[in-house]
C-alpha cells in the first residue's frame, strides 16, 4: 500500500514537472514547489505546495478534463476571492488552462474537527466556543449580497488550531439568487438539509448542517464529559437547528449564536428579560396549567420567574387563598412560584385591549427576568396585549370540534408569525403530524396531556418543548 501511494505521488510530481517544462520558465506553475498530495479523485486533485520565492505554504486545487460544473466552480472561486475573514482561506490565484484550471489558496494549519474530537477534546466550553465561531462565519457569508451558502458543513470541512475554527472546501457553495433554484444541490448525506435534495436551499440549510455538527460534537464528547444539564441545553439547540421544516429552525445564524451564548452565560448571573404571552383558542386548552409547569421549569434553570394573571378566570384569587407567604412586591408564592394579577384588573387601554405593559415593566424593575402573562382565551379585546409580548404561545386543538376556534385564532394572529409558537394541546403524535402538514409558515409543536400518569417518552417531549421555549426567550 505504501509503495502504491509513493507511485501516485511520483506520478503527480512528474505530471506537474512535465507541464512546467512544456510551458517554459515563465509559466505560473514554476512559482510553486509541490510538497505532497492532500486529496485526489477523478479529474480533481488537491496539493500542499510552497511558493518558491516567498517560502509560503499554500493549497493548489487542480481540475483537469471536462469536469462537470466547471463554469460553476470557476464562478464560485471568483466569488471567494472577495471574501475577507480570518476563518476562511484567502484565494490567491485562479489560473485557467487549456486542459483545466487551478485555484491557489491560503494554507490553514490545523486538524479536522473529526480527528480533533476523536482525540478526546470534549469540554462543554470549547464546544460552545467553536459553535459560536461557526455562527459568526455563517453570519458573514449569509450577510453578503447575494447571500453565500456553504452547503457542505461537516467535520472534515472545519479545521481547528489553538481553539480557532476555519471553514474550508467551498466546492458546494452557492450564491443565493444566482439562478440555481430547482437544481439538485450537492452536500454530504447526514449533514445536508432535506430541502437541498429538492434544490431549494437558503440560509437555514446551513443552519441545519450546523445543528448536525453540534450533535456530532456532543456525541463525540461522551456521556461523562458533559454535565447532564449542559448536555440537555446543547441538545435542545441542536434539535431546533435540525428541524425538518426550515421555518421551525433558527431564522439566522446570529439567532443560533445567541442561544449558545445564553447557555455559556447560564452558569453566571444571567437574566433573559422576557415577557411570554400565553393564550388559547378556547377554554380548557391547558394554558394556565402549562404556564405554571413552565414557571417551575424556568425556576429550576436559574430564572426569576413570575406568573401574571391577565384574564378574568380569577385563578389568582384561588391561589391567594392557598398561598402561605406574601412577598414585598405584592406577589404570593404558590409552590415556590410568585403569582400576581394585574393591579387594576383587566382595565381596557386606549386601544381597547388589556393593558399589561405597565405591569410587566413594574415587575421587571422588581428583578423578574421571565414574566408569564396568562391571557386566557384569545379575544379581539386582548389581542394587542397578547401580541405585544416578546414571545407568544398560542394554545389550540386539532380535533374536529376544535378546529373552528383554532383557525379563527390563527387568522387574528396573521402577520405576527415570527414571534408566535402554536402549541397543539393533547394531540396524539399521529394526529399532530397530519395537522401540522396543513400549516405553512407557522412554528408548531405538540403539547402532551400532562396529568402525572404520562409515559417517560411524553415527559421527554414536554421537557424538550420547554427547553426550546427557553431558547426563544433568550433571543
Question: Residue 24's pLDDT is what?
Answer: 42
Question: Residue 460's pLDDT is what?
Answer: 82
Asked whether residue 371 carries a pLDDT value surpassing 70, the answer given is: yes
pLDDT band at 369 (very low <50, low <70, confident <90, very high): confident
**Residue-averaged pLDDT of the chain:** 80
Query: Which helix (H) or strand (E) element contains residue 371?
Result: strand 370-377
- Please state the length of the chain: 475
For 202-220, b/e burial (b = at least 16 CB within 10 A) is bbbbbbbbbbbbbbbbbeb
CA distance 76 to 99: 19
Calculate what percentage of the chain has a pLDDT beyond 90. 32
Asked whether residue 410 carries a pLDDT value surpassing 90, the answer given is: yes
Question: Residue 254's pLDDT is what?
Answer: 92
All domains of the chain in start order, with CATH = 2-106 (3.30.200.20), 111-265 (1.10.510.10), 274-474 (3.40.50.300)
pLDDT in tens, 298-350: 888 778 899 998 887 766 666 666 655 555 566 788 778 888 887 544 443 43
Question: Residue 187's pLDDT is what?
Answer: 77
pLDDT in tens, 203-246: 999 999 999 999 999 888 765 555 665 678 888 899 999 999 99
pLDDT in tens, 37-87: 988 877 788 899 999 988 889 999 888 766 555 666 676 677 778 888 888
Question: Residue 453's pLDDT is what?
Answer: 52
CA distance 459 to 454: 7
Question: Residue 325's pLDDT is what?
Answer: 55
Asked whether residue 99 carries a pLDDT value surpassing 50, the answer given is: yes
pLDDT in tens, 113-146: 998 887 765 677 788 889 999 999 999 999 998 8
The average pLDDT across 404-429 equals 90
Burial class from Cβ neighbours inside 10 Å (0-12, 13-18, 19+) for residue 125 reads: exposed
Lowest-confidence range among 269-278, 387-396, 463-472?
269-278
Query: Which helix (H) or strand (E) element contains residue 211?
Result: helix 203-221
Question: Residue 352's pLDDT is what?
Answer: 40
Q: Give the number of C-alpha atoms closer than 13 A to the C-alpha of residue 101, restricted to the C-beta side.
A: 16
Higher pLDDT, residue 96 or 5: 96
**Residue among 205, 203, 202, 200 nearest 182 (CA):** 200
The average pLDDT across 403-413 equals 93
CA distance 91 to 52: 18
pLDDT in tens, 14-48: 444 434 443 444 456 688 999 999 888 777 888 99
Q: Give 229-268 as a DSSP string.
A: HHHHHHHHHHHHHT-SSGGGS-SSHHHHHHHHHHHHHTTS
pLDDT in tens, 279-294: 999 988 989 889 989 9
pLDDT in tens, 425-443: 888 889 999 999 888 888 8
Decide if 430 contacts 453 (C-beta within 8 A): no
Q: Report CA-CA distances (Å) from 378 to 104, 311, 366, 432.
A: 61, 10, 28, 22
Amino acid at each position: 500500500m505504501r509503495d502504491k501511494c509513493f507511485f501516485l505521488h511520483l506520478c503527480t510530481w512528474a505530471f506537474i514537472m512535465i507541464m512546467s517544462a512544456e510551458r517554459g520558465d515563465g509559466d505560473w506553475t514554476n512559482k510553486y514547489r509541490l510538497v505532497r498530495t492532500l486529496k485526489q479523485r477523478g479529474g480533481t486533485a488537491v496539493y500542499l505546495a510552497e511558493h518558491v520565492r516567498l517560502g509560503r505554504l499554500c493549497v493548489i486545487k487542480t481540475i483537469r478534463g471536462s469536469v462537470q460544473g466547471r463554469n460553476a466552480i470557476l464562478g464560485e472561486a471568483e466569488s471567494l476571492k472577495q471574501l475577507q475573514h480570518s476563518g476562511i482561506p484567502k484565494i490567491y490565484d485562479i489560473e485557467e488552462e487549456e486542459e483545466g484550471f487551478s485555484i491557489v489558496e491560503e494554507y490553514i494549519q490545523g486538524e479536522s474537527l473529526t480527528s480533533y474530537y476523536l482525540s478526546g477534546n470534549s469540554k462543554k466550553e470549547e464546544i460552545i466556543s467553536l459553535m459560536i465561531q461557526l455562527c459568526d462565519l455563517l453570519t458573514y457569508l449569509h450577510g453578503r449580497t447575494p447571500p453565500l451558502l456553504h452547503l457542505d458543513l461537516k467535520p472534515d470541512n472545519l479545521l481547528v488550531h489553538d481553539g480557532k475554527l476555519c471553514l474550508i472546501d467551498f466546492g458546494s457553495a452557492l450564491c443565493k439568487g444566482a439562478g440555481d433554484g430547482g437544481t439538485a444541490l450537492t452536500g454530504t448525506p447526514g449533514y445536508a438539509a432535506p430541502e437541498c435534495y429538492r434544490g431549494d436551499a437558503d440560509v437555514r440549510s446551513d443552519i441545519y448542517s450546523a445543528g448536525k455538527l453540534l450533535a456530532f460534537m456532543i456525541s463525540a464528547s461522551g456521556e461523562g464529559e458533559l454535565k447532564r444539564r449542559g448536555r440537555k441545553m446543547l441538545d435542545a439547540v441542536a434539535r431546533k437547528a435540525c428541524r425538518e421544516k426550515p421555518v421551525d429552525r433558527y431564522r439566522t445564524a446570529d439567532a443560533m449564536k445567541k442561544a449558545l451564548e445564553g447557555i455559556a452565560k447560564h452558569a453566571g448571573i444571567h437574566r433573559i428579560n422576557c415577557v411570554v404571552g400565553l393564550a388559547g383558542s378556547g377554554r380548557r386548552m391547558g394554558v394556565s396549567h402549562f404556564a405554571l409547569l413552565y414557571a417551575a421549569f424556568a425556576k429550576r434553570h436559574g430564572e426569576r420567574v413570575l406568573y401574571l394573571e391577565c384574564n378574568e378566570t380569577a385563578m389568582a384569587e384561588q391561589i391567594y387563598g392557598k398561598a402561605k407567604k406574601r412577598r414585598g412586591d405584592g406577589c404570593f408564592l404558590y409552590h415556590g412560584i410568585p403569582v400576581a394579577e394585574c393591579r387594576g384588573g383587566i382595565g381596557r387601554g386606549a386601544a381597547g385591549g388589556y393593558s399589561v405593559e405597565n405591569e410587566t415593566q413594574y415587575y421587571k424593575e422588581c428583578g423578574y427576568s421571565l414574566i408569564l402573562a396568562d391571557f386566557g382565551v384569545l379575544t379581539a379585546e386582548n389581542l394587542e396585549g397578547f401580541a405585544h409580548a416578546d414571545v407568544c404561545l398560542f394554545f389550540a386543538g386539532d380535533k374536529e370540534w376544535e378546529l373552528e376556534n383554532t383557525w379563527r385564532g390563527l387568522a387574528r394572529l396573521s402577520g405576527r408569525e415570527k414571534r408566535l409558537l402554536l402549541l397543539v394541546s393533547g394531540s396524539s403524535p399521529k394526529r399532530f403530524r397530519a395537522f401540522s402538514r396543513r400549516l405553512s409558515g407557522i412554528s408548531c409543536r405538540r403539547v402532551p396531556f400532562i396529568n402525572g400518569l404520562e409515559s417517560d417518552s411524553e415527559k421527554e417531549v414536554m421537557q424538550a418543548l420547554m427547553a426550546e421555549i427557553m431558547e426563544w426567550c433568550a433571543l
